[in-house]
Amino acid sequence: MPDALTVDEFIGDTLNDVRHPLKSDFISKISSVRCTVYSLDEMQNLNSIVVFPMETFMQGDIKSDLKKPFEKALKDYEYKYDKLRKEKLQTMKETGCYVPEAFTEGMTKDLEKERRRLQLETCEYLIKVNELKAKRGADLLQHLIDFFYVQTHYLRECLGVMDHFGKSMTDLSNRVNELHKINDIQKRRLVDTREEVKGVLDKESVQTGVTYAAQPTPLNRAFGTKKSGFLLKKSDGKVKRVWQRRRVHIADGELCLYHADESKPPVRLTLLTCQVKLPTESMDNDSILNHSTGGGGGGGNQHSTTSEGKLYFDLVS
């Protein structure tokens, strides 16, 4: 396989053939020109496969018919060359006179038009390849350089904006903490107000539905009637049980035990020692006392029985 020509070698051989047709050896290098064009075309196809993402950027530059004019000119030249060679050899064989110099000179003159067409199409193809290399090489790198400078300028502008807003971040953070505190205070007050109103409504509903006949325990007003604080309860975890703090509020005879999420309604417990209901059957005091104390009531023990009954109800209440 003949060696491929470089662009400089092709230019030198072509100019030498144009200026000195009789002294040029361009005819002997036709196979090298063909090898050069085919190798360049193979490299373009390989580049299209490897650099597939660049196909859109290079759309319209690489075409399958890029070397068709060259192939046509080469085919015409080879056909005309073979035809003239056979004719001249046949003529020399018939005349019996074969002069190599005359044969070469005649072929050069007769194939001048086809040779010039082949040289023209080869130049056109190499110019297209050169433009494509420039677009993929220098032009692409120039675009990358421009993109780098634009991106650097954009990032500098971003840093300037971040520095400008960063100076006020401390004040903004303090303001956010204040807003959190205000919101927490408002939420706690609203929760307390809601629970107080809800407790009043629940108490009214309980009082209207059930009548309590319990003897009230004497109260010491020095300790107050309301109490708030925290209790510790164990968690319900199966693996690890820990102590948890729960807020407790006592007021109006009720104990409110809050959940971990205090926005949920608490568990309410009524602080009563007993609840007395009227019996369905009419029973006198003696039968009640006999049933409760386990003894029979006689007439002689009426006074002691009455005092024992009073003590019993005091203890129960």
User: In this predicted model, what pLDDT tens digit does every residue of 289-298 receive, in sequence order?
Assistant: 444 444 444 4
What distance in Å separates the CA atoms of residue 132 and residue 123, rounded to the nearest whole number?
A: 14
Please check the confidence at residue 70 and state whether its pLDDT lies above 70: yes
29-38, 99-108, 297-306: range with lowest mean pLDDT: 297-306
DSSP annotation of 281 reads: S
CA–CA gap between residue 266 and residue 255 (Å, rounded): 9
Q: Write down the pLDDT at residue 290.
A: 46
Whether this model's pTM surpasses 0.95? no
Q: Is residue 258 helix, strand or coil?
A: coil
Paired tokens of 213: 């006949």
More confident residue, 133 or 308: 133
Residue 222 has pLDDT above 60, yes or no: yes
The per-residue pLDDT for 54 is 54
Please provide the distance, in angstroms rounded to a whole number, between the alpha carbons at the two ends of the chain.
121
Q: Which of 37, 30, 38 is nearest to 13 (CA)?
A: 30
pLDDT in tens, 105-114: 777 788 888 8
**What is the structure's pLDDT at 178?**
93
Check pLDDT > 90 for residue 282.
no
Q: Which two tokens stand for residue 77?
A: 């030249």
* Domains and their CATH numbers in the chain: 7-163 (no CATH), 182-270 (2.30.29), 285-316 (no CATH)
Amino acid at residue number 157: E
Phi then psi dihedrals of residue 245, to 5 deg: -85, 135
Task: Tell me the pLDDT tens digit for each residue of 182-214.
Answer: 999 888 888 888 888 888 788 877 766 555 444
Cβ-based neighbours of 115, under 8 Å, separated by 6 or more: 17, 26, 27, 77, 108
Count of beta carbons in the 10 Å neighbourhood of residue 126: 17
Pick from 2-6, 143-147, 223-227, 277-281: least confident: 277-281
* Alpha-carbon gap, residue 20 to 39, rounded angstroms: 29
The tokens for 154 are: 């954009």
- Are 148 and 36 a contacting pair, CB within 8 Å? no
Q: Model confidence at 144, in pLDDT bands (50, 70, 90)?
A: confident
Nearest alpha-carbon partner for 68 in 104, 38, 98, 100: 38
Give the pLDDT mean for 278-300: 48
Backbone angles phi, psi at 60, to 5 degrees: 90, -10
